[in-house]
A and B are shown apart, each in its own frame.
Chain A
Amino acid sequence: MNTLLEVENLNVYYGVIQAIKNVSFTVGEGEVIALIGSNGAGKTTTLQTITGMLTPASGRIIFRGEDVTKVPGHKLVEMGISHVPEGRRVFSQLSVYENLKLGSFTRNNKSEIESSIKRVYRSFPRLEERKNQLAGTLSGGEQQMLAMGRALMSVPIIMLMDEPSMGLSPILVQEIFHIIEEIKRGGTTVLLVEQNANKALQIADRAYVLETGSIVKEGKASELLNDEAVRKAYLAS
């Protein structure tokens, strides 16, 4: 399998506090990779560094063989990296439709954009029902769908998702994970950050376990699901 994304000896600081310590991992083309770990482990920091929201002190990020560590964030979107951020971050003062349109900012073909919007509406019928509503008036689950739909609008090669199931009811969690599977079937690579380790490991191919800024374990998702230490720390329920 070809490596699509490679993170190499990444170190990231907030002021003097080191949040990420020498983190390295790879994501292969078409894989779903789960990055699990408890609150404060550094999952969000890792994703934000990959997409240019944070600057690493050292280390490299390689996408399709090219060093993109210093590429500005907006250019990465054009290159095919899409990020569904923690906390959804939809544009609350804009309509659902306008949010989706902004997701296609890097594209120019109007009719292709409209058909992408139709595709998002097929995956998330509720977004179509609410297309003229301000995003700020949506429920948490609907906002999560919008955030995912918006990220899909750039037709990404790889999608980074930061805790898409956070704060959602079990039914909605189910729905979100179905969509992630659908995205995978469509050929898009997924790097999934989750505290809901059980669910994440069920749909992932491989996984990395992050603990206080370092990767402490990695392996096939099915193996980690049965790993005693992982079960104890992250699947205790």
Chain B
Amino acid sequence: MSFLSFLISGISLGSIYAIMALGYTMVYGIAKMLNFAHGDVIMIGSFVVYYAVTGAGIPAPAAVLISVVVCTFLGIAIEKVAYKPLRRAASLAVLITAIGVSYLLQNLALLFFGADPKIFPNVITLPALNLFGGQLVIAGTTVMSIVANILIMIFLMLFIKKTKQGQAMLAVSEDKDAAMLCGINVNGTISLTFAIGSGLAAIAGVLLCSQYNQLTPYTGSLPGIKAFTAAVFGGIGSIPGAFFGGLLLGVIEILSSAYISSQLANAIVFAVLIIVLLVKPSGLFGRPMREKV
């Protein structure tokens, strides 16, 4: 029974990685850039929930909603101020800017929220599931993470397949000029992508902090890198790739720390990534990259 319980923990953690990975993969797909600051948007979103609930006494669902709105606008603002002016710049310049934005957000959080860890309030009040006569207990947070991930994936797939804006995103991600010649507002579509990715970051932040109960300005940092890894694992730019990449990463991490060594868990995660990329450089679901000229 303990294996099953580890597996479920892995899927739960992996679901959070998957939701975060979506932000990386969608932005990469459309803007061909690694938004290094995505993990820190997650952290800011968590602080919004923290202060809304503990400071202002706002009910948890409303606090999460506020956080989604704040993160959405934060994402749009970061894109407008930091990345849009670099649309035609070398990718290295964009990457360095993104790292800069990441540190800026962390330092702003340090300045305004302080370095001391905050105890994250209990915002997910879903009761635990008792299975097999109490032999397997699944926490409410775990159930919520898995359900949220599945719902978000279904919603996004439908959005992209069925709506005009979704199709515009695909068009822009493949060929910006050709998209423009179809009458698509390319800048608007890129903004929308950042908005969706960042809005999802708020949800990922709540799930992440509910899992670990702790919040610091660095909370988004390592999970952000792991979620990026998950996106690469699944095939950067691919939404199903983010889903399965995230789940696999979570499961590998939890199982290795349970059965091999908790100190080595991260090393094992990255070793698996390296092996996957050696065998299939475009990731599990990635299409072979067509280099743009």
Which residues of the partner chain B approach A101 to less than 8 Å between Cβ atoms?
167
Q: Report chain A residues within 8 Å CB of B175.
A: 89, 91
In the complex where A91-B170, A93-B287, A94-B170 touch, is A85 in contact with B184 (Cβ < 8 A)? no
Q: Which residues of A contact B179 (CB under 8 A)?
A: 102
Contacts of A74 in B (CB 8 A): 180, 182-186
Interface residues of B in 129-184 (CB under 8 A from A): 164, 167-168, 170-171, 174-175, 177-184
**Inter-chain contacts of A85 with B (CB < 8 A):** 177-178, 181
Interface size grouping (class) on chain A: 20 to 34
A218 on interface, CB distance cutoff 8 Å? no
Q: A93-B170, A98-B167, A105-B168 are in contact. Are A154 and B178 (CB under 8 A)?
A: no
- Is A53's beta carbon under 8 Å from chain B? yes
State in angstroms the CA–CA spacing of A90 and B175 once bound together. Answer: 9
Give the chain B neighbours of A94 by CB distance below 8 A: 167, 170-171, 174
The 8 A CB mask of A63-85 against B (1 = contact, 0 = none) is: 00000000011110110001101
Say if the beta carbon of A52 comes within 8 Å of chain B: yes
Q: Which residues of B from 56 to 79 have beta carbons under 8 Å from A?
A: none
CA distance A22 to B180 in the complex (A): 26
- B184 — which chain A residues lie within 8 A by C-beta? 74, 102, 105
**Any B CB within 8 A of the CB of A51:** yes
Q: For the complex, what is the distance from the CA of A91 to the CA of B169, rounded to whole Å?
A: 12
Set A72, A75, A89, A98: member contacting B178, Cβ < 8 A = A89
The CA of A52 and the CA of B202, in the complex, are separated in Å by: 37
Residues of B within 8 A of A154 (CB): 182-183
Q: Taking CB as reference atom, which chain A residue is nearest B178?
A: A89
Chain A residues within 8 Å of B, Cβ to Cβ: 51-53, 72-75, 77-78, 82-83, 85, 89-94, 98, 101-103, 105-106, 150-151, 154
15 interchain pairs (CB within 8 A)?
Answer: A73-B181, A74-B180, A74-B183, A74-B184, A77-B182, A85-B178, A89-B177, A90-B178, A91-B175, A93-B174, A98-B170, A102-B168, A105-B164, A105-B182, A105-B183
